[in-house]
Amino acid sequence: MEPGSCEAGPAVKAVAAVLPAGGSGERLGGATPKQFCAVQGRPLVSYTVRAMERVSWISDIIVVVSPENIETMKSIVEKYGHKRVTVAEGGITRHRSIFNGLKLFSEDGFSKHLLQKPEVVIIHDAVRPFVEEDILLKVVMAAKECGVSAFIVLCTLESLSCQAAGAIRPLVSTVIASAADGYLDHSLERARYRASEMPQAFLFDIIYQAYQQCTDYDLDYGTECLHLALKYCKTNAKLVEGTADLWKVTYKRDLYAAESIIKDNLSQQICIITDAKEAIVQVGFLLRESLRNQIKVEAVSVCLSKHDSHVQNIFSGQCYNFVCINDKKYTTEEIQQLVDMLEKSNIPLLHPVVLISVHLDSSENTSFSIDLEELTRIKKCATEMKRKNILVYGLLIRYKPVKIVEAFVISDSDGFYAPHWESDWNSGDSKGGETNTIHISNIM
């Protein structure tokens, strides 16, 4: 689901999220806890925080870390421009850390600034970075309003209230129990059981009361929040079928898998920006039609300026690939405008941004030397922008009404490949007139 697609949010007063991030990463191996391991140059926990930030109806995000990592987490929040985030000190176990996060909403002495108590709180692991807004909405609504048929219900004790919900997934492997001597005791019927996943959602008062009543044994050895709500508040949980991307980064191989998914996601979306001229809009439309079956394409026709709210809204999303089409004689000024907007959005802090400036020139008076001069300016601009994590490419297309005369691709030459463009200009009769089409592919 796209950021902001559930803009109205659930019908609850307030929703907050608590992200336990105090693990030591023992199973991962290495000195760095997995939540702080770099994936594409960015800490894993930052991706999870960003996933929560994209959901406009989540008012507060609490990240609970071990005492020795508080300053590290605060620096991550500052570096990547995270908003609505509070860093809390965790306990020695997962449950104690979650309890500390919940206390920020209810105990004046636990925090300098008591946060507004939410009606519903989401609990989600900081090392599950691929959570989407639709599953968050489902568990929140299930915690608030039970009985929706779309949810899979595995617990049906009618005497219990239902004010909690959690994501589940089918078991992949059969679960067995071993005897004391190390031999097989029995196995479970896999079809009857599910793997408990995150996110989970609770009415705040329910889960907070459950933690207040917990024994030290529960806090030190327990791992399942839904079980605490059931045990201490007689609250049965609605179980919501989750998606395959809710998995948890646990081992080193999971970091490689996460990196692969992130790379793939970054390359699957592109934004085409054109000015309002009919001919330029038409080229943008043709490019969009050419690419729409391969990747996600958004095309906008705007009057580019630093104050254009439509483009700024796009920059605040998750798109990192942009194609800007124009027919102006000097395109470097337009590139600089887009770069200024990108820098303001902080997008280049997260991942490299690819900006392709396409200049269409139908003038018969423009000499080759002037074309080359403009391309040289673009190349210089590209070299400067690369230092800001923005990779600028320039494509100049000179054409006559019937066919392309010349096409030049220019970029900085320090190891970054220029995108491959296959271009041809086809003419044909259509209702007595000519139609011209540019086919451009393999951009990223």
384 or 98: which leads in pLDDT: 98
Give pLDDT, residue 444: 33
Q: Identify the pLDDT of residue 441.
A: 35
Please give the structure tokens belonging to residue 184.
Answer: 């097989």
pLDDT of residue 432: 36
pLDDT surpassing 70 at residue 436: no
Q: How confident is the model at residue 412 (pLDDT cuts 50, 70, 90)?
A: low
pLDDT for residue 89: 94
pLDDT band at 99 (very low <50, low <70, confident <90, very high): very high
Q: Identify the pLDDT of residue 16.
A: 96
Per-residue pLDDT for 416 more than 80? no
Name all domains of the chain by residue range, CATH numbers in brackets: 15-257 (3.90.550.10), 268-442 (3.40.50)
> For residue 435, what pLDDT is reported?
34
Q: Check pLDDT > 50 for residue 419.
A: no
> What's residue 69's pLDDT?
94
**pLDDT on residue 15:** 95
Is pLDDT at 428 greater than 50 in this prediction? Answer: no
Question: Is residue 39 over pLDDT 60?
Answer: yes
Average pLDDT over residues 36-51: 90
pLDDT tens profile 246-298: 888 888 888 888 888 887 777 777 888 887 777 788 888 888 888 878 777 77
Give me the sign of the Cα torsion angle 306, 308, 309, 312: negative
Q: Which of the two residues, 146 and 89, has the higher pLDDT score?
A: 89
Q: Is the pLDDT at 407 greater than 60, yes or no?
A: no
Q: What is the pLDDT of residue 48?
A: 94
Residue 77 pLDDT level (bands cut at 50, 70, 90): very high
The reported pLDDT for the residue numbered 434 is 36
Quick check: 316 pLDDT over 60?
no
Statement: residue 181 has pLDDT above 80: yes
pLDDT given at position 409: 52
> Tokens 């306990």 identify what position?
91
Q: How confident is the model at residue 319 (pLDDT cuts 50, 70, 90)?
A: confident
Q: How many C-beta atoms lie closer than 10 Å to residue 289's C-beta?
A: 13
- Select the more confidently predicted residue: 113 or 365: 113
Per residue in 129-168, pLDDT (tens digit) is 999 899 999 999 988 875 222 223 333 333 445 677 777 7
